[in-house]
Chains A and B, each alone.
Chain A
Amino acid sequence: MKYDVAIIGSGLGGLVCAQLLARAGRSVLVLERQAQPGGCLQSFRRGAFVFDTGLHTVGGLAPGQSLHRRFEELGLMQLPWQRLDASGYDLVTIGGETFAHAEGFDTFAATLARRFPAEREALHAFTRMLATLPAMDEAGEVSAYDYLCRTFADPLLVNVLSASLLKMELRRESLPLFTFLHVVAGYVQSSWRLAADGGLLVHTLIDNIRRLGGEVRCGAEVVELVERDGRLTAALGRGGEAWEADRFVSDIHPRLTYDLIRESTHIRRIQRWRLASLQDTFGMLTVSLVLKPGVLPYFNHNKYVYRRANVWDEPLAGGEAEPIDRVMVSCRVPAEGTFTRQIDLLTPLPWALCMPWQHTHVGHRCDDYLAMKRRRADECIDLAETVIPGLRAMILHQYVSTPLTWRDYNLTPQGSAYGIRKDCRNMLLTTFSPQTSIPNLFLTGQSLVIHGIEGVTETAFATAEAILNAG
């Protein structure tokens, strides 16, 4: 059978594209290399508990807000979304002092202005910018850090405003204001958690795709995309399968996509050089904790803890000996009652600190790797204990994953959390259009323009539109 569209990768971008194309009447096949679908959204089970990997907070889901219309259209608004506290969806603790990020542009500014009264005007100017969101040609080539330092006189406030972007790479020289504003704006509108694991989101999309006649196949690893007479004709599977389609969408990393195309009349050497020269954002160390029953009341916000006001410093730049100095704490909505059983602690772990084990694979690593994980988990727990006193004594089980784990499951280079790093000095080369030089190959996913649930969803809509416009 020849499909209208074959989609490589079942991350959020691939699944959203598949649903939109199936709804438009296209025959769609999604190919997932792993046994489990979902890419960066997938969850994992240990005993009675299911843990999330990539999904923690989603912004802008209230009616009229940025992501609501998209999720409504995809049938995702019926999922059990839990709105985080309006008075502080994020609590940022820096050097022992805690600051609330409050919901709504005006309230956000007014709340922080009580602690930073001299910055009231600047805070309102900042939230006005968040509300209007400048386009890429206005804010793409501006450094977020430079903008913040120009706008605010108090360096502590610059730290407070940026602290909840712990999972994002806050690089002074490269992070575009465009990226910063788009990520922050969704959360300020309203922040939400799924009162379930990310698997529910993935399986809802897959059910929708199947109901619309589309197919999703797991354990279907694509090892080559074949070009003939200037167009892609088939995706070849590891088991010798050949999936034919009129059009192809790649929801995997752009570099891996181009690696799948061995011979092409369209791909110039310069395109491969360009991809090879691009850097990826850092990956995360995640400590997934199962707590004893009835010890920690559920908290309806995220906590961000920094030892010092060094939010924009490169994490663990001092190397292996430097202890972790920042952590995000996310709380799972309890299925019943008021006590949570699961929290996740996340912190960036640069690839340089994973390199000693880069040639090992999941399930086959050595004792010194396990010791490194234990030590780093301890450091995360130490830091989290400054805002959750007695945390260590509440722990029943802990599971630790690193960028190496992420790399092995999701194939993102160096276990990168968000894919290709955007650079305000070079936006043309660090962002990607859904169209490629091969007329029937399209890209989607977090590396194109903006990462995160909202960025990836928006990009998937753009990719699907590009395909439908192509006829």
Chain B
Amino acid sequence: MTRNEIISQVNDLLVEEFEIEQSEITPEASMKEVLHLDSINLVDLVALVHVTYGITIPAEDLPKLKSFNDLYDYIESHKAA
């Protein structure tokens, strides 16, 4: 799966699950702001990555995931591993 494919799939899932517009997602935008993440629905994001890619994001890695780009990077590097 190429990075572009990951980006496209992740964005589609986020648009559907978090009910946002594609246009709100830019690589450098803050996920916290765009997805309105709080302690409850942060878990939904983790679940989405887990269910879709089989990647488990441990709690200690969460603070590193700030922008959408961070998320794409995380999926790309852990999927390859």
Q: Apart from A140-B59, A270-B47, A437-B44, what 11 extra A-B contacts exist at CB < 8 Å? A: A137-B59, A137-B60, A268-B18, A271-B44, A273-B47, A274-B43, A277-B51, A425-B56, A428-B43, A428-B57, A429-B43
Q: How many A-B residue contacts, CB cutoff 8 Å?
A: 51
**Interface check B12, CB cutoff 8 A:** no
Contact yes or no, B46 A437, CB < 8 A: no
Asked whether A437 and B41 contact (CB < 8 A) given A141-B58, A428-B59, the answer is: yes
**B interface SS class:** helix
Q: Cβ of A425: which chain B residues have Cβ within 8 Å of it?
A: 56
A420 to B41, CA, bound (A): 19
For the complex formed, measure the closest distance between the CB of A108 and the CB atoms of chain B, giving whole angstroms. 31
- Can you show 22 pairs from A to B with CB atoms below 8 A apart? A137-B59, A140-B59, A268-B41, A268-B44, A269-B17, A270-B47, A270-B48, A271-B44, A273-B47, A274-B43, A274-B44, A274-B50, A277-B50, A427-B58, A428-B46, A428-B57, A429-B43, A429-B46, A433-B40, A436-B40, A437-B41, A437-B44
**Interface check B39, CB cutoff 8 A:** yes
Contact yes or no, A274 B40, CB < 8 A: no
Closest to B19 in A: A268
**Interface check A398, CB cutoff 8 A:** no
A428 to B43, CA, bound (A): 7
Asked whether A429 and B40 contact (CB < 8 A) given A141-B58, A268-B17, A270-B17, the answer is: no
**Interface check A426, CB cutoff 8 A:** yes
Interface size for chain A: under 10, 10 to 19, 20 to 34, or 35 or more residues?
10 to 19
Contact yes or no, B51 A433, CB < 8 A: no
User: Which residues does B use to contact A, with CB under 8 Å?
Assistant: 16-18, 39-41, 43-44, 46-48, 50-51, 56-60
User: Which residues does A use to contact B, with CB under 8 Å?
Assistant: 137, 140-141, 268-271, 273-274, 277, 425-429, 433, 435-437
For the complex formed, measure the closest distance between the CB of A383 and the CB atoms of chain B, giving whole angstroms. 38
For the complex formed, measure the closest distance between the CB of B20 and the CB atoms of chain A, giving whole angstroms. 12
Contact yes or no, A273 B51, CB < 8 A: yes
A273 to B44, CA, bound (A): 10
For the complex formed, measure the closest distance between the CB of A180 and the CB atoms of chain B, giving whole angstroms. 19
Contact yes or no, A428 B41, CB < 8 A: no
Contact yes or no, B59 A429, CB < 8 A: no
For the complex formed, measure the closest distance between the CB of B39 and the CB atoms of chain A, giving whole angstroms. 7
Closest to A271 in B: B44
Asked whether A437 and B51 contact (CB < 8 A) given A428-B46, A428-B59, the answer is: no
Closest to A436 in B: B40
A317 to B51, CA, bound (A): 27
Contact yes or no, B59 A274, CB < 8 A: no
